[in-house]
Amino acid sequence: MKAYVVEAFGPPEAIAFQDVAVGELPKGHVRLRVRASGASLLDALIAAGRYQVKPPLPFSPGSEFAGEIEAVAADVTTLKVGQRVMAGGFTGGFSQTAVVPAIAAVPIPDAMSFETAAGFHTNYMTALHAFRQRAELKAGETLLVLGAGGGVGSAGIEVAKIMGARVIAAASSEEKRAFATKLGADHAIDIAPEVFRDRLKEITGGRGVDVVYDPVGGQLTELAFRSLAWRGRHLVVGFAAGTIPALPVNLALLKGAALVGVDLARFSFMHEPAVAAENLKQLLAWFASGQLKPQVGRVYAFSEAREALSDILNRRAVGKAVVRVD
């Protein structure tokens, strides 16, 4: 099979493209024929060796993907050959086939394309967990989404609107702000520090926002936290800006506000798997009813996988980037 392979940590252009042998199928696992793979900042950071988890070399990048099951281990009874599933881990997606634990492969509806499924689980599950369990977001509350033009942020807009929130989307370019508006954001604002807080005060009548959804970090975190209303909640999702901010904790005291961590992996697999399963069930129900209509960004050809990661690293991607695997 053909696969992209990280032989040494480095930039996207250093990732090799080569023939790789199909290995044996371990107990409890299934092998997928990968049809589409999501591309994310996480994938680029792992390939560069800049993430907290460093897989053993060599490996194929791609932490989330979708395809058809082409083989199941003898002890797997919950899945069968031919089923369409989405799956993930830290690696494996930028390859024509991938082996995953059966528990990590989730059947997808017939109406869901492989491209949609490849970017569905992580982003939408993160958003629903953040809003439902961590912020307890209520209909009518005002939510500020940072990084609204990316995959995590755009999913946050869609889920929050279904939950009845008023959404302010913050993004770095006019193209990204237009994309956020298309997804249903009530307002779209620039992240330039000199106008950011003034626009939030203008939109909220000086009251501030109830919840901040923050996958960005960097200097925006403190600016957004300062813009919280009384009893506001700031959701820490990630650090796409590349720096982990230091927040003056007296701000939490003055605003009666909470800084709340959102970790989908620990929530789903270590601490509350039953609750996570209910969240996924809700998301798929919203998809089936037509309430949730995921918008994929650019779909890259398999030959463009390195370009997809480069675009993400250089902030050129709009929406969820997906690689179609041929």
- Supply the CATH number for residue 146's domain: 3.40.50.720
Same domain, 45 and 97: yes
Same domain, 79 and 197: no
pLDDT of residue 207: 96
User: Distance between CA 9 and CA 45 in Å, rounded?
Assistant: 9
SS3 326: coil
Q: Confirm whether 285 is domain-assigned.
A: no
Q: Confirm whether 281 is domain-assigned.
A: no
Helix (H) / strand (E) containing 60: none
Same domain, 201 and 81: no
Same domain, 127 and 192: yes
Half-sphere exposure of 170 (CA within 13 A, CB side): 27
Q: Confirm whether 275 is domain-assigned.
A: no
Q: What is the mean pLDDT of residues 226-248?
A: 93
For the chain, what is the domain count? Answer: 2
Per-residue pLDDT band for 278 (boundaries 50, 70, 90) equals very high
The token duo for 54 is 């460093």
Q: What is the mean pLDDT of residues 28-45?
A: 95
Residue 189 has pLDDT above 90, yes or no: yes
pLDDT of residue 173: 94
User: Distance between CA 218 and CA 237 in Å, rounded?
Assistant: 12
Task: Give pLDDT tens digits for 164-185.
Answer: 999 999 999 999 999 999 999 9
First to last CA, the chain: 11
Structural domain harbouring 19: 2-120+294-324
DSSP β-bridge partners for residue 143: 167, 211
Residue 13 has pLDDT above 90, yes or no: yes
Task: Give pLDDT tens digits for 120-149.
Answer: 999 999 999 999 999 999 999 999 999 999
Same domain, 133 and 261: yes
Same domain, 96 and 140: no
Helix (H) / strand (E) containing 278: helix 273-289
CATH number at residue 44: 3.90.180.10
The token duo for 149 is 């033009």
Task: Give pLDDT tens digits for 37-74.
Answer: 999 999 999 999 998 889 999 999 999 999 999 999 99
